[in-house]
């Protein structure tokens, strides 16, 4: 997650925003139950859980407050940016489509790839037709950007 002190907007897809809002709601519900349990028994475990949940709630609230949709960001329609769906051709002509997202929503499904991942870092700022070099802990490979679509 990001630091609440950071004030720049966070690009989230609509599905990502909904997913995080649902996560936030589950934290609120759990926090309510922990508070009820604390009224009966103030254990160190419950106090620790309450502190953890409160931190998570604050972070998610901040992320959702600062969130903007990909379509709200001025972009160069020829360059791959955060919030873009990208078609990539890998060595051996394998083709894959993925969505470059803020790290906070990357775990939502298998199509989303964190902007901090090696593949996303390689394609961000490049154009359709560009061959990019992807550097991973397992080695280096080249891939070609075959398409780019901006999500609303």
Q: DSSP labels for 16-53? A: HHHHHHHHHHHHHHHHHHHHHHHHH---HHHHHHHHHH
> Are 10-68 and 73-150 the same fold in CATH?
no
For the chain, give the percent of residues with pLDDT over 70: 93
Tokens of 146: 């075959």
* Beta-sheet strands, E only, within 8-152: 10-11, 67-68, 84-89, 95-101, 112-114, 131-136, 139-150
Which of 152, 10, 149, 14 shows the shortest CA–CA distance to 77? 149
Task: Give the residue, 87 or 3, on which the prediction is more confident.
Answer: 87
Which pLDDT score, from 0 to 100, does residue 9 have? Answer: 76
Separation between Cα atoms, residue 135 and residue 83, nearest integer Å: 22
For residue 79, the 8-state DSSP code is: B
Position 77 scores a pLDDT of: 79
pLDDT at 107 over 70: yes
State residue 2's pLDDT score: 41
β 67-68/10-11 pair status: parallel
Are the C-beta atoms of residues 148 and 87 closer than 8 Å to each other? yes
Q: Is the pLDDT of residue 142 over 90?
A: yes
Report the pLDDT value the prediction gives residue 1, as an integer from 0 to 100: 44
Range 34-52 average pLDDT: 93
Assess whether pLDDT exceeds 90 at residue 33.
yes
Average pLDDT, the chain: 89
Domain-wise residue ranges, the chain: 10-68, 73-150
40 in Cβ contact with 128 (< 8 Å): no
- Fold that domain 73-150 belongs to in CATH: Chitinase A; domain 3 (3.10.50)
Nearest to 87 by CA among 98, 79, 76, 78: 98
Q: Is the pLDDT of residue 4 over 60?
A: no
Q: Which fold has domain 10-68?
A: Helix Hairpins (1.10.287)
Report the range of poorest mean pLDDT among 46-55, 67-76, 121-130: 67-76
The pTM of the full predicted model, rounded to 2 decimals, is 0.74
Confidence (pLDDT) at 7: 57
């Amino acid at each position: 997650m990001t630091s609440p002190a950071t004030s720049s907007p966070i690009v989230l897809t609509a599905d990502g925003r909904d997913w995080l809002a649902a996560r936030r709601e589950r934290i609120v519900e759990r926090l309510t139950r922990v508070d009820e349990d604390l009224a009966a028994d103030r254990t160190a475990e419950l106090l620790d859980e309450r502190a953890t949940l409160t931190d998570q709630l604050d972070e998610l609230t901040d992320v959702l407050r600062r969130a903007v949709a990909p379509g709200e960001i001025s972009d160069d329609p020829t360059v791959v940016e955060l919030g873009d769906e990208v078609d990539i051709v890998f060595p051996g002509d394998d083709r894959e489509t993925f969505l470059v997202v803020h790290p906070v929503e990357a775990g939502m499904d298998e199509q989303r790839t964190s902007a901090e991942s090696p593949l996303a870092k390689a394609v961000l700022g490049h154009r359709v037709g560009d061959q990019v070099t992807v550097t991973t802990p397992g080695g280096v490979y080249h891939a070609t950007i075959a398409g780019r679509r901006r999500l609303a």
